[in-house]
Amino acid sequence: MSIGKALKLTIPAAFFGYAAFANYSLLTSDVEGPKWAGLWSGEVTQEIDTIYRANLPHRDPAVGIIGAVRYIALGEGRDGVVVGRDGWLFSDEEYRPLATAPHGLDKTVGYIASVRETLRAAGAELVVVPLPAKLDMERAQAGEDAPSKRIEQDYAAFLRALDGAGVETVDTRPVLSQRPDPFFRTDTHWTPAAARDVAEAVANSGRVAIGDASFDVVPGPAVSFTGDLVSFVTSDSLAPFVGLRPEHVTPYVAEAVAETDADGGMDIFGGGASGAYALVGTSYSANPNWSFAEALKLSLAQDVLNYAEEGQGPVAPMAAFLSRLASGTEEVPPVVIWEFPVRYLTDPALMDRAEERQDA
């Protein structure tokens, strides 16, 4: 028997062995069992599931160990991740064809065009900044070329559709394709260097006016973190032992330089929030580790207020921002920069999230 086949057989054997032990431990414990009165209504099934989830012994370590063994033996992770070459991890969201998106590209672009009209009526201009997929930019590490080409075509189709709808955009793919590894190895996000490249592309696009504010770059403390895709493979504690080592980044902030006003006094706000541009988007913008808002300040010489949100996709934060403008709680900015990763175009909940935030 080959070593590979032996390893493949080890995983199910270990799984069933542990399952027998876990069930014995659960049955001999003091955990209250399901209420069998709900057998015919189907409620007992949900109760059993809850009991196992809450009380299974060694659940978290077991999941981590089994995931680590599967990754070493088979080069696979759980649903949610696709393992590429040399330990590179990719979100399975990027493998969903745009043609199968339930809401369709036309609906998404139609919504973006309606946002443009809403902002224009309020006195603000919209600039959409689409972001290409990690699967596209890191295709040498992906293994399969066909999915990378498909999502590259999706990005191009998105740009064409936005242009056809009269929406101002900045094509970020050329600058990112020139940078070696613009994305992290085990995380879905871009590096601060890639974020800075995109900020400079926005400034050089002619779509956004350049200001005259001055900023100092203040580096923050170095940060080590486990990539967000590692959780689909194994636990954080076991990840380094299977070659999924922590990522490292040094975020920074752009602090406004105090200027002397006409009366000889010091303007400590360097122009302040009045007239500041707005940034709306996803965790690519919201997470301070990537420093995208700070990079925009430096490249545009203009203050930027960050309204991006993590874990909500690109559409829901925009719906929330529009609600704030409509309520009068926020000053209307002259420019709204909307960071929009192309991988969200196939998110089934993309437009639902917008409707939920509008109704809130």
Check: CB of residue 279 under 8 Å from CB of residue 304: yes
Judgement on whether residues 81 and 149 belong to the same structural domain of the protein: no
Judgement on whether residues 79 and 112 belong to the same structural domain of the protein: no
* Residue 237, in any domain of the structure: no
Identify whether 171 is a catalytic site residue: no
Domain boundary among 90, 118, 143: 90
Q: How far apart are CA 258 and CA 244, in angstroms?
A: 44
| Catalytic member of 189, 299, 303, 347 | 189
- What confidence score (pLDDT) does residue 262 get? 53
Judgement on whether residues 267 and 154 belong to the same structural domain of the protein: yes
Judgement on whether residues 346 and 261 belong to the same structural domain of the protein: yes
Judgement on whether residues 321 and 184 belong to the same structural domain of the protein: yes
**Residue 94 is which amino acid?**
E
- What confidence score (pLDDT) does residue 270 get? 45
| Catalytic member of 148, 231, 283, 285 | 283
* Residue 59, in any domain of the structure: yes
- What confidence score (pLDDT) does residue 41 get? 47
Nearest alpha carbon to residue 92 among 155, 30, 134: 134
Judgement on whether residues 79 and 116 belong to the same structural domain of the protein: no
Instruction: Give the pairing type, strands 266-267 and 277-280.
Output: unpaired
Torsion over CA: 190, 193, 199, 205 (sign): negative
Domain boundary among 66, 90, 114: 90
* Residue 236, in any domain of the structure: no
Identify whether 58 is a catalytic site residue: no
Instruction: Give the pairing type, strands 215-219 and 223-225.
Output: unpaired
- What confidence score (pLDDT) does residue 2 get? 60
| Catalytic member of 91, 148, 154, 187 | 187
Q: Indicate the number of domains in the chain.
A: 2
Judgement on whether residues 140 and 166 belong to the same structural domain of the protein: yes
Judgement on whether residues 56 and 121 belong to the same structural domain of the protein: no
* Residue 141, in any domain of the structure: yes
Q: How many CB atoms are located within 10 Å of the residue 46 CB?
A: 11
Identify whether 359 is a catalytic site residue: no
Check: CB of residue 239 under 8 Å from CB of residue 187: no
Q: How far apart are CA 257 and CA 148, in angstroms?
A: 43
Judgement on whether residues 45 and 109 belong to the same structural domain of the protein: no
Domain boundary among 63, 90, 117: 90
Judgement on whether residues 143 and 65 belong to the same structural domain of the protein: no
C-alpha of 156 from chain center = 20
Range of the domain at 146: 101-227+248-359
Q: Would you write out the chain's pLDDT as a tens digit for each of its 360 residues?
A: 565 565 555 556 555 555 555 555 555 555 554 454 444 444 544 554 454 455 555 556 667 777 888 888 888 999 999 999 999 999 999 999 998 887 889 999 999 999 999 999 999 999 999 999 999 999 999 988 999 999 999 999 999 999 999 999 999 999 999 999 999 999 999 999 999 999 999 999 999 999 999 999 999 999 999 999 999 999 999 999 999 999 999 999 999 997 655 555 545 444 445 689 999 999 999 999 999 999 999 999 999 999 999 999 999 999 999 999 999 988 999 999 999 999 999 998 888 866 666 555
* Residue 243, in any domain of the structure: no
Judgement on whether residues 267 and 185 belong to the same structural domain of the protein: yes
* Residue 232, in any domain of the structure: no
| pLDDT one-digit tens code per residue, 249-259 | 999 999 999 76
Judgement on whether residues 119 and 205 belong to the same structural domain of the protein: yes
* Residue 96, in any domain of the structure: no
